[in-house]
Amino acid sequence: MSNSHSDTIPLHPSSQSDIDEIENLINASVQSGPATVLPARPPSPPRASIPVSSNPFIQSQIPPPPPQSSSSNQKVPSVAAAPPPPSVGNSSRIAATGFGPAPNTLTEPVWDTVKRDLSRIVSNLNLVVFPNPYREDPGKALRDWDLWGPFFFIVFLGLTLSWSASVKKSEVFAVAFALLAAGAVILTLNVLLLGGHIIFFQSLSLLGYCLFPLDIGALICMLKDNVIVKIVVVSVTLAWSSWAAYPFMSSAVNPRRKALALYPVFLMYVSVGFLIIAIN
């Protein structure tokens, strides 16, 4: 059993194939792009011991469907076939409770994505603007933030104001849009600088959704041009918007600084209210 004979000893059959696989994997990891990888055999299924922070590799059992495919039941078998391993930390719990997307969103049909996004907008709107049991715990409520709702509400408010204006329509729209967008960013920075704990995009999303009452107010004011009606409607919707924004903003900061965080929000909504009343 000298060393010089080690090369000529015939290997165990499974060892030879193992060595082939090792060589392929070494080549695969050395090469730069994933597109040049050529697996020698189908890769083994993801092991439960891989500590990845996001979802494990998704086995795509079918080639990606064309965008026009409307069968939604192909999502169901692929979700059942690729369950997240229980040892992966938060991601599986979140996916199981339905807060995040289902594990196999990579191969779902386009219509499913659209429906999911639309239903998320509606549910966020309900959570923020209407009374519901989650208001006591604001951090949980807008967990699934999105910016589509706020985008739509800001544009709608700008359009309504611009339509109501008889002169300088473009300036009104640009001012309204810039005021609301920059205002939301600045208000969020205000909370962060006061030492509050709030997530940037979650707060932007919240402030955008709280514009919904003012949208309704602006629409009513556009349709009815009476000053008294305008003042009443704007006051009511202003109070509604502030009530919607209050729990989230106040819970994010130190109780002694609550007023400092809430006052600018109220100020912004008051200025938008004045804009609605003053436009004629």
Q: Which residues would be at the binding site for other proteins (CB under 8 A)?
A: 12, 14-15, 18-19, 21-22, 25-26, 28-29, 34-39, 42-44, 46-47, 50, 52-55, 57-60, 64, 66-68, 90-91, 93-94, 99-101, 105-107, 110, 113, 117, 139, 143-145, 148, 151, 155, 158-159, 162, 169-170, 173-174, 177-178, 197, 199, 201-202
Least Å from the CB of residue 228 to other proteins: 29
Least Å from the CB of residue 119 to other proteins: 14
Nearest to 75 by CA among 45, 43, 115: 115
Least Å from the CB of residue 239 to other proteins: 28
Least Å from the CB of residue 53 to other proteins: 8
Q: Which is nearer to other proteins, 117 or 225 (CB)?
A: 117
CA 73, 78, 81, 87 dihedral sign is: negative
User: Whole-angstrom Cα distance, residue 169 to residue 187?
Assistant: 27
User: Whole-angstrom Cα distance, residue 191 to residue 201?
Assistant: 13
Q: Which is nearer to other proteins, 204 or 233 (CB)?
A: 204
Q: Which is nearer to other proteins, 175 or 239 (CB)?
A: 175
User: Whole-angstrom Cα distance, residue 5 to residue 146?
Assistant: 67
Q: How many CB atoms lie within 10 A of CB 155?
A: 14
Least Å from the CB of residue 142 to other proteins: 8
Q: Which is nearer to other proteins, 41 or 256 (CB)?
A: 41
Q: Which is nearer to other proteins, 98 or 133 (CB)?
A: 98
Q: Which is nearer to other proteins, 60 or 280 (CB)?
A: 60
Least Å from the CB of residue 137 to other proteins: 10
Reported as type and span, the H/E element at residue 129 is helix 110-129
User: Whole-angstrom Cα distance, residue 134 to residue 60?
Assistant: 37
Are the CB atoms for 275 and 247 separated by under 8 Å? no
Are the CB atoms for 279 and 176 separated by under 8 Å? no
Q: What is the dihedral of CA 11, 16, 22, 26, to 10 degrees?
A: 90
Q: Which is nearer to other proteins, 132 or 226 (CB)?
A: 132
CA 134, 139, 144, 145 dihedral sign is: positive
Least Å from the CB of residue 208 to other proteins: 13
Are the CB atoms for 210 and 241 separated by under 8 Å? yes
Q: How many CB atoms lie within 10 A of CB 205?
A: 23
